[in-house]
Amino acid sequence: MARAMFEYTKTILKKVSFNSDLFCKELKKGLDTLLPYEIEELRIWLKSFIENKPELSICMTFIK
């Protein structure tokens, strides 16, 4: 079940990446539901995902 939440969070973040406000909001919600090791995995995934989307880099402050 927990792994499903990780994949679900990634899916939602991909879908809302067109809007940085929505992206940050969904990232916060995802961080509330994920386990600590999944948050670390999400941080790694986010680094590569936002490489070409500098407008989303502001949301990384929530994950540090």
Torsion of CA 23, 58, 61, 2, to 10 degrees: 20
pLDDT in tens, 40-63: 999 999 999 999 999 999 999 988
DSSP 34: S
Domain spans in the chain, listed from the N-terminal domain onward: 2-57
Residue type, 17: S
pLDDT at 16 over 90: yes
Q: Residue 3: pLDDT band by 50, 70, 90 thresholds? A: confident
pLDDT at 64 over 80: no
Q: Is 61 exposed, middle or buried (0-12, 13-18, 19+ CB in 10 A)?
A: exposed
Q: pTM score, two decimals?
A: 0.89
Q: Which helix (H) or strand (E) holds 13?
A: helix 2-15
